[in-house]
A and B are shown apart, each in its own frame.
Chain A
Amino acid sequence: MSARPITTVKTIVTGIEEAGADIKLFTLADPDRWELPPFKPGAHIDLHLPNGLVRTYSLCNEPADNTRYVIAVKREADGRGGSRALHDDVGVGDIIGVSLPRGGLAPDARIGRYMFVAGGIGVTPFLSVVRHLQRTAQAEFTLHLVAREEVPLAAHLGSLIEAGTVVVHRTSRAGRPDLAELVGDPDPETLVACCGPEGMTEDFERLTTAWPTANVHIERFVAPPPIIDPDAKPFTLSLARSGTEIQVRAGQTMLAALQEGGIDIATSCCGGICGACKVGWIEGRPVHRDRILSPYERERYLMVCVAGSDAERLVLDL
């Protein structure tokens, strides 16, 4: 029995390929090569690295290739440590826990044309998308790849470059492409997307202000903050018995904050109906949201999986 719940998909590193320009491609698979949880084109996963870091990478293979997760990682010597850990410490055969895939482009029958702009390693979120579009032939697409000189993942883009669906812009030779020209006029049947350095995504955002928001997608290297209920506020949990305090971030569940703080809480449904995580509360103004406690019980108990706090501080009998 494992003492803690399994929270990640267990994968094994089955391949590491040098792809030039300080980029390595890592292939992750289930230890028995079982199908992995499905993903949408352009989706990303979190890798829980052996050194405790959690880092997000785009999936580069296409969704139909469902027994592998392929990620491209550029070694950033001055980065925050995730890419160095992967490049320097991770080998074939290592086990890495990953999250369920998130994000990506949902199929949209109204879109007949896709135009992507990528700066350097910012090409990674579009690799699975263009492969998917190429295979399904559901819409036209062009990927404009802006690179100083060396084209990232060139070997993996060769046939698409030859076919003209990937257009390379080398800034060392021809300068920067005219983003305004690439974006063009708003068109409800076109989806435009950009991933690259901050300057590029800012320009892109400015150039697409007249576009319908559903037709514009911008992906930044640094993940945007999660979408949080605008009414959600952070609060402090004070644990009366253990004498510790735990901060609950806006939008975070009390349960997740307690677990992050190393507090072991029994859980099951995580939706406020099973009662496994019932905890006594002593002081504060809990917001209950469960569907099983009676008004009388709510005066003394709450369900940490769904409950919130209407005050800055909530004292629990833990």
Chain B
Amino acid sequence: MLDIVSAGSAQKTAQLGWTGVVRFLHLAPRAFLPMRAAETITLVAGKGIEGDRYMIGKEEGFYSHKPEEGRQVTLFELETLIALKRDAGIELGPEEHRRNVTVEGVPLNHLVGRRFWLGDTLLEATRLSVPCRHIEEITGKAIFDPLINRSGLNCRILQGGIVRVGDTVRNAA
């Protein structure tokens, strides 16, 4: 079916039109520690976020025993936090989902395999994040089920730099 869609007779190309914004930035230096909010974070190409537990070479995250090149920075949708409250009555703060960047107006699930700009840094989305029981253990909130299929995005950093709250997020052609 996917072949048929991509080779549709109308030959029209659907364009994903969006421009988003960075709402929150968080990091933590070690597994289990609370995420701390930051106004800026520094992305290092091919490595990760300065001071974060998953920076390649630091390896102090809960999943660091399973190295993954495409987990240098992780993103999460503000809209998911709003939906959790609306649909499941669960208040989850941007410091609780344990991804680094909370964005608004960015369709993360559509970006797997694509490149996009996060402020002045260039990212490549490698895979969707999956929820894990670890996050329920840390937050004490039953969020595993409601986060299935909307648990954020893992990315590789192609071009590093400083990311600030309020930065624009946009597609890279």
Q: A269–B30 contact, CB under 8 A?
A: no
Find residues 1-29 in chain A having any chain B CB closer than 8 Å to their own CB.
1-6, 8-10
Give which listed residue, A31, A35, A273, contacts B130 with CB less than 8 A.
A273
Among candidates B33, B59, B131, B133, residue contacting A9 with C-beta atoms closer than 8 Å: B33
In the bound complex, how far is the Cα of B131 from the Cα of A305, in angstroms? 14
In the assembled complex, the Cα of A271 lies from the Cα of B144 at a distance in Å of 8
Expressed in whole angstroms, the minimum distance between the Cβ of B79 and any Cβ of chain A is 21
Check if A5 sits within 8 Å of B138, measured CB to CB.
Answer: no
Does A219 sit at the interface, judged by CB under 8 A? no
A37→B29 contact, CB < 8 A: no
**Roughly how many angstroms separate A305 CA and B133 CA in the complex, as a whole number?**
10
A269 in complex: contacting residue of B31, B60, B130, CB < 8 Å: B130
Chain B contacts for A38, CB-based, 8 A: 34
Chain B 55-75 interface 0/1 with A at a Cβ cutoff of 8 Å (1 = within): 000011111111100000000
Chain B residues whose C-beta falls within 8 Å of the C-beta of A6 in the assembled complex: 30-32, 60-62, 64-65
Which of B29, B60, B64, B66 meets A266, CB within 8 Å? B66
Contact A2/B59 with A10-B30, A34-B30, A37-B32 known, Cβ cut-off 8 Å: yes
Q: Is A78 an interface position by the 8 A CB rule? A: no
Q: How far is B16's CA from A131's CA once the two chains are assembled, in angstroms?
A: 55
- Residues of A contacting B32 in the complex (Cβ-Cβ under 8 angstroms): 6, 8-9, 37, 100
- Collect the chain B residues with CB atoms within 8 Å of residue A36's CB: 33-34
Residues of chain B with a CB closer than 8 A to A4's CB: 65
Interface residues on A, range: 20 to 34
Q: Which residues of A contact B (CB under 8 A)?
A: 1-6, 8-10, 30-32, 34-38, 100, 266, 268-271, 273-274, 305
Interface residues of B in 22-62 (CB under 8 A from A): 28-34, 36, 59-62
B36 touches A100 (CB 8 A): no
Per-position contact with A for B2-30: 1 when CB-CB < 8 Å, else 0? 00000000000000000000000000111
Checking B36, B64, B137 against A2 with a beta-carbon cut-off of 8 angstroms, the contacting residue is B64
Which A residue sits closest to B35, measured CB to CB?
A35
How long is the Cα–Cα vector from A11 to B138 in the complex, in angstroms? 17
Residues of B contacting A10 in the complex (Cβ-Cβ under 8 angstroms): 30-31, 60
Chain A: CB-nearest residue to B132: A269
- In the assembled complex, the Cα of A32 lies from the Cα of B52 at a distance in Å of 12
Given that A5-B62, A6-B60, A10-B30 are known contacts, is A268 also in contact with B130, CB under 8 Å in the complex? yes
Given contacts A35-B36, A100-B32, A100-B138, 13 further A-B contacts (CB under 8 A): A2-B64, A5-B62, A6-B60, A9-B31, A36-B34, A37-B34, A268-B63, A268-B66, A269-B131, A269-B144, A270-B132, A270-B134, A273-B148
